[in-house]
Structure 1
Amino acid sequence: MGFLSKRKNKKFDYTPRFYKGEGNPFEIKHKFDEHRTTVGDNPNLKQKFNNAIEDLKNNTDKTANRRIVLIVAVLVFLFLLIIGFDLSIFFPN
């Protein structure tokens, strides 16, 4: 044991009990990540929004798109009611 040398860490060759042999067993990954375009290394905010809009346009489930539009419309309407906006401009006399 020298005074000037640093101690080396021990290395263990550990494999998990039920490891099947493909990929890294310690990597935590969501099961739908390979199908999403919005997950990953997006360099800036504009690219994230562009990827999200493309993903929404390429979505084949139209009921989900309608549901999102309906939820946004209800939330905007509630927001306008809370701040006291005059909603009579939207309705004819």
Structure 2
Amino acid sequence: MGFLKRTNKKFDYQPRYYKGEGNPFKIEHKLDQFRTTAGKNKNLKGKFHDAIGDLKNSDKKTNRTLIIIISILVLIFLYIIDFDLSIFINN
């Protein structure tokens, strides 16, 4: 009566692209290590404090680039809506 005694088969499953580092089933975003809002500060106040600290300590070159990009986008928006500067001239 060997057909009644069945043992479960054990498989040594390993994911296809697993390189052996950590748990392959742990769901974690690839960019979490670079985010300022991810990490030890789980509460909202801590996240805002870290984000404001990063903003204060940023490069001046980065700020200049950001201002240039925003100004170009504003000019493109004004061109699209046909903004007329003649409303500021008093005749």
Q: TM-score, normalised by structure 2?
A: 0.48
Larger radius of gyration: 2
